Structure 1
């Protein structure tokens, strides 16, 4: 017979987890002393192996509770479902690894990044597919595809340039740069915009009035910075029209 501490060391399962399994009636101690000490026997190891084995296959503790009540298992469909769930998680893990590799490269290329800018770029990369679907309700498919052709695949060089432009715009707002100085910075921003979209912004001013979904399109700018930036962009677009 093993005390809970001895049983924990033998099985590699923490005392806290063993107590939780006891509370859930998954694995009750074989004996509890008058002072409340839990003791386990070798047979309890077999029960614990069933629990840990099913957990490894992706079953929830609630599902395991139900299975432990059954003398025979017919779990083919459940196993197929768990396999499907694990494959889905594997796809997500691979995406997260790609995102981590991208963010590491981005951080190495930019020694100092404002948190708002960094998080906005990460979130925009995460929501890229949803953003494209959303934009295609307002713009031709080929225009949207062109917008994302550059940034798809975590383009560190492109995003590093974008970080630099955003930083410049934030400094311009804070220090109240002249329109000429701001326009010079915006030239760099417009150079990132696909030619067809830029022409549409000139000929269809209502495009500037589209309210982007803030959950899908997180902004690195504060509300005040954003309003100031939109005003400067609109003024600059008006100047382009008169040229």
Structure 2
């Protein structure tokens, strides 16, 4: 005759809380072998084996709903199930690694400043969080080899560029309202140009390519309003645009065909 354990003893023997055993009973995942006339739960060695299966499957990342299906299946395709679960765990691992990478960038950005404008912070973190989506977006506009050159840079360099960009955007916001053609504002735009060139040395050719596809680019941006959140409000964007136009004209880049 198999040994019988009250729920307290079973809890201690299996290192499982009574509350968890109650819950497993409620959802039909692990029911006691029988109930006494007074309604007390009793378990046997068979339930220990079943609980070991549940614990193992939980460790492998299966949800309770999935475990419920698996332990009641007569013909469980173990290999197929484990292969699928491994794939799901790899996805989660990649998501966690991406989150850690994003947090590393966030810490670098605020390294010298305990506070930062929320719109600047969000726009820069978005560039890390949505990197794959940004790559897909750019495939419609520029060659894939160019996209790879832009994104495949050392991680430390990428973090430092994010930090420089955050500082520059902060300075631009502080300069908002000054004459766009002023030396101080144009100096800030030159800093932006240097950052872009550090990211991609042939920035001028890239901008010329994007200017040729201005209508297509504008349409795609309109269709994806949350893909590239701006670090500036509408007034600041217009002002920065004016300053960029002045800077680009000096370089022979004309943003507006009517000028």
Give the TM-score, by structure 2 length.
0.73
- Look up the SS of the partner of 1:41 in the other structure: strand
Q: How far apart in 2 are the matches of 1:152 and 1:126?
A: 14
Q: How far apart in 1 are the matches of 2:209 and 2:95?
A: 41
Match of 1:198 in 2: 204
Q: How far apart in 1 are the matches of 2:10 and 2:246?
A: 74
- Look up the SS of the partner of 1:191 in the other structure: helix
1:119 is aligned, of 108, 118, 122, to 122
Distance 1:224 1:7, change over 3 A: farther
Match of 2:229 in 1: 218
Whether the 8 Å CA contact 1:125–1:154 is kept in 2: the answer is no
Alignment of 1:1-243 (within 5 A): 1-3=5-7, 7-8=10-11, 10-30=13-33, 39-43=41-45, 44-70=47-73, 73-148=76-151, 155-173=158-176, 176-179=177-180, 180=182, 181-194=184-197, 196-199=202-205, 201=207, 205=211, 210-211=217-218, 212=221, 213-241=224-252
Query: Residue 240 of structure 1: CA displacement?
Result: 4.0
Query: Residue 99 of structure 1: CA displacement?
Result: 3.5
* Structure 2: gaps (5+ residues): 255-259
Between stretches 67-76 and 160-169, larger displacement belongs to 67-76
Between stretches 20-29 and 97-106, larger displacement belongs to 97-106
**Count of residue pairs brought into register by the alignment:** 239
Cα-Cα RMSD: 3.4
Q: How far apart in 2 are the matches of 1:214 and 1:111?
A: 29
* Structure 1: gaps (5+ residues): none
Match of 2:257 in 1: none
Give the TM-score, by structure 1 length.
0.77
